[in-house]
DNA sequence: CCTAGCACTCTATTTTCTCGATTGCTAAAT
DNA sequence: ATTTAGCAATCGAGAAAATAGAGTGCTAGG
């Protein structure tokens, strides 16, 4: 258990270090508190023994440890209001009705990345609430046609389908069958329904059923897949903990690996903070993330920055966005 | 005019410098040629006077100047065949009929970026050959509906449209009118046709014509816009000319500016090489680019790397891709 | 016209030195 | 019992000096 003074010191060190990225000495702290630098040093020693502070070398000032940051975000952090300009910028995005939800997310996280100089990730999936509304096809040439799928929530997806050697009539028959049988099905149940209900039926009516079934199966599995987008990646370069190119390389290669990035998915509904080793990304960063869910899409939004991160601000911004999109 | 020996020396220096990124000394060259280092030095001096070589400091080896690279690519470069593995990798992409052309381009340039460690850009526009095939709408709720546009070449685009206060009947009437009047119109003529032929007509039949006209106009202009994609951006970090973070920042910010990137468009049908100051991107890089055009899409593909670039390989790869997609 | 030889130049690296910030400890003050 | 003043000790960051090595330009002889 920390004394009030120890908490004050820890808080000041975290805030100061976030601001200036230089180890914080006792002198700076004692100016803020009503005590001498020696007293502060004694307290600092205790805080270090508790594992909340670290030194970069024997005679350096103190730097918060991961445990120190953890204590800070759990007990000391104060959430401030967003300022008017930030809210205004975000509102123009939220009010643009022409944008789809995923665009809204990407654009608002662009703004956040701009404001904060951190990097954002949007992991987006079509919500299970989406029900198939309509399948239509447009032949492009004798080998290829385009399948267009629309859900009741307004999601539109399309994909080329290879149908070499299948007559257009056969295709139309199949589409009619599928439409009749699975319109109204939630998209995550389509694959199963396709296999157990549609496959047997089209087998009876359609000659090239094997080929067509596979083509549609591909189209549907493809369409219900996850989407990952990284925003403001260059902001990584702005932080001094990434002034050496090899660290940049490392983090960039992780931000590029879309399939690994899917692991960032957050199940929890709160805004969660993963400091350093608490996240799988890199021990050098903090990841702050939350869930979102609307009737149309669901997924995770995450902000990534150095551990020396403006925690209050990021939490606030994520909270604001989550509330806005979930309406 | 260069002598044969001078050309040999220049060529060796370019090749060696591309390989090792270190200024090339006379000793290395004279081992390849049948002459002494002093002779090579004399020739090097002449080549430097001609502006083809440079020194990094008084007693350093030589580095090709931009003019030197230019001479190399114009006169000395030999094109080699692609190796089997590379061709194989690319073919799996070209043979995947499910992919749209823009996906094929992006994926094949991903492969090229992998092979070469350079960065690629795809600038993609719908080809003028695309004719409007069909417009359809799907209402999502009372305020918003989705407009889906399909061209005869199989391009599908969709966009949310705000229609607050307009009855669904009015909208359907408008869509029918537009469909009747402009199906078959090349996409780049749609805006004009919309203004001069459609606008007057819907004015007669539809109450909220102003609002609907504007919404459709937005949708169409939006849809015929250009698309820029940057592939393999991280490869920038692999080259020692970008070992300092500020140069990385500079080039990254340029690669992020999608609208500025549209200027990369190449009108010429050949594979063109822009070395250093010859391109607008950055004096530190070379841009190699070419045009492509199919009935579906058209645009530019470009490879960006340090001036110390494997010119032969990149030219070959671009040539191969261009032929494949236009084939 | 070519080449061997050599003094010279400049970089890159290592070493040494100095300055200043900050610490931990001790002993005195509160 | 807690706080503080004082002080030697530690270490990093940066400047200055020393060294080694690669490569050049020039000269003179082949």
Give the pLDDT confidence score for residue B188 in this predicted structure: 86
- B263 touches B226 (CB < 8 A): no
What Å value separates CA A5 and C1' D9? 28
- Residues B48 and B181 grouped into a single domain: no
Residue bearing tokens 């020696």: A38
CATH number for the domain harbouring residue A241: 3.30.450.40
From first CA to last CA, the distance across chain A in angstroms is 40
CA B41 to C1' D24, in angstroms, rounded, equals: 8
The spacing between the Cα labelled CA in B57 and the C1' in C14, in angstroms, equals 22
Q: Specify the higher pLDDT residue, A172 or A304.
A: A304
pLDDT of residue B171: 86
Contacts of A256 in chain B (CB under 8 A): 234
Q: Is B140 on the interface with A (CB under 8 A)?
A: yes
Q: Per the CB < 8 Å rule, is A249 touching B243?
A: no
Confirm or reject contact between A98 and chain B (CB < 8 A): yes
Judge if B216 and B72 occupy the same domain. no
Q: Which of A224, A251, A274 is the last residue of a domain?
A: A224
A156 touches chain B (CB under 8 A): yes
- List the one residue out of B187, B192, B178 whose CA is nearest residue B152: B187
- The count of other CB atoms within 10 Å of the CB of residue A151 is 23
Rounded Cα gap, residues B112 and B119, in angstroms: 9
Are B312 and B243 found together in one domain? yes
**pLDDT value of residue A120:** 98
Q: How far apart are CA A212 and CA A111, in angstroms?
A: 44
Which residue, of A224, A248, A268, is where some domain finishes?
A224
d(CA A223, CA B106): 19
Average pLDDT over residues A263-291: 96
How many angstroms separate the CA of residue B1 from the nearest CA in chain A? 43
Domain CATH code at residue B23: 1.10.10.10
Residues A267 and A216 in one domain: no
B203 & B89 share domain: no
Contact A154 B148 (CB under 8 A): no
Q: Which of B154, B225, B237 to mutate to test the interface with A (most CBs of A within 10 A)?
A: B154
pLDDT recorded at residue A270: 96
**pLDDT beyond 80 at A207:** no
What residues of chain A lie within 8 A of the CB of B161, using their CB? 98
Band of the pLDDT at A163, cuts 50, 70, 90? confident
B27 and B174 inside one domain: no
Residue-level pLDDT at B223: 76
Contact A143 B248 (CB under 8 A): no
User: Taking CB atoms and an 8 Å limit, are A100 and B249 in contact across chains?
Assistant: no
Average pLDDT along chain A? 92
Q: What is the pLDDT of residues A28-74, one digit of tens each?
A: 999 889 899 999 999 999 999 999 999 999 999 999 999 999 999 99
Q: Any idea which nucleotide's C1' is nearest the CA of A3?
A: D2
Nucleotide at minimal C1' distance from the A35 CA: D3
B260 to chain A, closest Cα gap in Å:
17
Q: What integer is the mean pLDDT of A114-119?
A: 96
Distance A99 CA to D29 C1' (A): 83
Q: Are both B176 and B237 inside the same structural domain?
A: no
Two structure tokens written together for B248: 């990385």
Give me the residues near strand C, CB below 7 A: A 23-28, 37-38, 41, 44-45, 48, 55, 58-62; B 34-39, 42, 56-60
pLDDT-wise least confident of A79-88, A252-261, B115-124, B136-145: B136-145
pLDDT at B2: 94
The predicted model gives A288-313 an average pLDDT of 96
Where residue B182 sits, what CATH number does that domain have? 3.30.390.10
Q: Is A57 exposed, middle or buried (0-12, 13-18, 19+ CB in 10 A)?
A: exposed
With beta carbons less than 8 A apart as the criterion, state whether A123 and A300 touch.
Answer: yes
DSSP symbol at B198 = I
Residue by residue, pLDDT tens for chain B (327 residues) are: 899 999 999 999 999 999 999 999 999 999 999 899 999 999 999 999 999 999 999 999 999 999 999 999 999 999 888 999 999 999 999 999 889 999 999 999 999 999 999 999 999 999 988 999 989 888 888 888 899 999 999 899 998 888 888 888 888 888 898 889 889 999 889 888 888 988 888 888 777 788 888 888 888 887 778 899 999 999 999 999 998 888 889 999 999 999 999 999 999 999 999 999 999 999 999 999 999 999 999 999 999 999 999 999 999 999 999 999 998
B181, B207, B224 — which closes off a domain? Answer: B224
Are residues A197 and A145 both part of a single domain?
Answer: yes
CB contact under 8 Å between A162 and B243, yes or no, is: no
Q: Which two tokens stand for residue A282?
A: 């890199």
Flag whether pLDDT at A170 surpasses 90: no
**Residue A304 clears pLDDT 90, i.e. is over it:** yes
Task: For residue A198, report the phi and psi dihedrals to the nearest 5 degrees.
Answer: -80, -45
Burial of B75 per CB tally in 10 Å (0-12, 13-18, 19+):
exposed
Please report residues of A whose CB lies closer than 8 A to that of B110: none
**Does the beta-carbon distance from B237 to A248 stay under 8 Å?**
yes
Q: Which residue of A has its CA nearest to B150?
A: A138
Categorize the per-residue pLDDT at A292 as very low, low, confident or very high, splitting at 50, 70 and 90. very high
Count of domains observed in chain B: 3
Shortest distance between the Cα of B240 and any Cα of chain A, in A, equals 10
Nucleotide nearest to A41 (CA to C1'): C23
Neighbouring residues of A286: CB distance < 8 A, sequence distance ≥ 6:
A69, A273, A274, A275, A276, A279, A304, A305, A306, A307, A309, A311
d(CA B64, CA B68): 5
Kindly determine whether residue A237 and residue B256, on different chains, have CB atoms separated by under 8 Å.
no
Give alpha helix (H) positions in chain B.
4-20, 26-32, 37-49, 66-71, 84-94, 101-116, 168-182, 190-193, 199-205, 209-223, 245-256, 258-261, 311-326
> SS3 sequence, A177-240?
HHHHHHCCCEHHHHHHHHHHHHHHHHHHHCCCHHHHHHHHHHHHHHHCCCEEEEECHHHHHHCH
Is the shortest CB-to-strand distance from A56 to strand D under 7 Å?
yes
* Residues of chain A found within 8 Å of residue B160, distances taken between Cβ atoms: 97-100, 154
**Least CB–CB distance from A159: residue in B98, B152, B159:** B98
* Same domain for A115 and A54: no
CA-nearest residue to B251 within chain A is: A234
In chain B, what residues touch A158 (CB-CB under 8 Å)? 156
What is the average per-residue pLDDT within A162-183? 87
Tokens of A107: 């654009």
- Nearest to B111, CA basis, from B235, B15, B19, B226: B235
Q: How far is CA B315 from CA A213, B72, B79, B279, B323, in A?
A: 42, 13, 8, 16, 12
What is the Cα–Cα distance from A272 to A291, expressed in whole angstroms? 9
Tokens 């203004």 -> residue? B195
Least confident stretch, A165-169, A252-256, B74-78: A165-169
Give the closest of B134, B156, B162 to A98, CB-based.
B162
Nearest to B146 among A156, A162, A245 (CB): A156
pLDDT mean over A96-115: 94
Question: Quick one: B295 and B158 in the same domain?
Answer: no
Ramachandran angles phi, psi of B8, nearest 5°: -60, -45
Do B142 and B108 lie in one domain? The reply is no
CA gap A33, A7 in Å, rounded:
12
In angstroms, rounded to a whole number, what is the distance separating the alpha carbons of residues B35 and B67? 25
Q: Which of A224-228, A259-263, A287-291, B252-256 has the lowest mean pLDDT?
A: A224-228
* A223 has pLDDT over 80: no
E strand residue ranges, chain A:
53-55, 62-64, 119-126, 132-139, 144-151, 156-162, 227-231, 272-275, 285-293, 297-306
Q: Does A327 touch chain B (CB under 8 A)?
A: no
Answer positive or negative: Cα dihedral of A117, A123, A124, A127: negative
Same domain for B208 and B198: yes
Q: How far is CA B214 from the centre of its chain?
A: 32
State residue A70's pLDDT score: 98
Give the CA-to-C1' distance from A59 to C23 in angstroms.
5
CB A96 within 8 A of CB A104: yes
* Domain around A197: 132-224
Q: Does B31 touch chain A (CB under 8 A)?
A: no
**Shortest CA gap B276–chain A (Å):** 23
Whether residue A175 contacts residue A148, with contact meaning beta carbons closer than 8 Å, is answered with no
Q: How far is the CA of B28 from the C1' of C9 (A)?
A: 20
pLDDT band at A213 (very low <50, low <70, confident <90, very high): confident
Q: Which two tokens stand for residue A161?
A: 């389908």
φ, ψ dihedrals at B144, nearest 5°: -130, 135
Of the candidates B146, B144, B199, B141, the one whose C-alpha atom is nearest the C-alpha of residue B174 is: B199
């Amino acid at each position: 258990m920390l004394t009030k003074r120890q908490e004050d010191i820890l808080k000041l060190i975290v805030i100061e270090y976030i601001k200036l990225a230089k180890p914080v000495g006792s002198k700076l702290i004692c100016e803020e508190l009503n005590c001498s630098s020696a007293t502060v040093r004694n307290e600092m020693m205790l805080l270090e023994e508790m594992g909340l502070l670290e030194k970069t070398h024997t005679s350096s000032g103190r730097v918060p440890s991961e445990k120190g940051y953890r204590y800070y975000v759990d007990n000391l952090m104060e959430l401030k209001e967003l300022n008017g300009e930030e809210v205004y910028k975000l509102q123009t995005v939220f009010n643009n009705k022409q944008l789809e939800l995923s665009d809204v997310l990407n654009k608002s996280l662009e703004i956040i990345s701009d404001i904060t100089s951190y990097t954002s990730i949007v992991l987006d999936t079509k919500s299970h609430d989406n029900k198939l509304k309509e399948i239509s096809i447009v032949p492009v040439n004798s080998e290829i046609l385009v399948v267009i799928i629309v859900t009741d929530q307004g999601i539109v997806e399309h994909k080329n389908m290879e149908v070499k050697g299948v007559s257009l009539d056969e295709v139309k028959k199949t589409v009619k069958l599928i439409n009749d049988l699975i319109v109204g099905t939630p998209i995550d149940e389509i694959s199963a329904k396709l296999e157990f209900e549609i496959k047997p039926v089209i087998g009876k009516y359609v000659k090239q059923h094997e080929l067509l079934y596979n083509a549609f199966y591909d189209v549907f599995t493809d369409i219900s897949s996850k989407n990952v987008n990284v925003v403001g990646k260059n902001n990584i370069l702005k932080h001094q903990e990434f002034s050496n190119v090899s660290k940049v390389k490392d983090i960039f290669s992780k931000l590029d690996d879309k399939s690994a990035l899917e692991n960032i998915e957050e199940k929890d509904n709160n805004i969660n903070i993963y400091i350093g080793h608490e996240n799988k990304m890199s021990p050098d960063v903090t990841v702050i993330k939350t869930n979102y869910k609307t009737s149309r899409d669901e997924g995770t939004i995450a902000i990534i920055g150095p551990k020396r991160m403006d925690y209050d601000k990021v939490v606030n911004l994520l909270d604001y966005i989550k509330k806005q999109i979930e309406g």
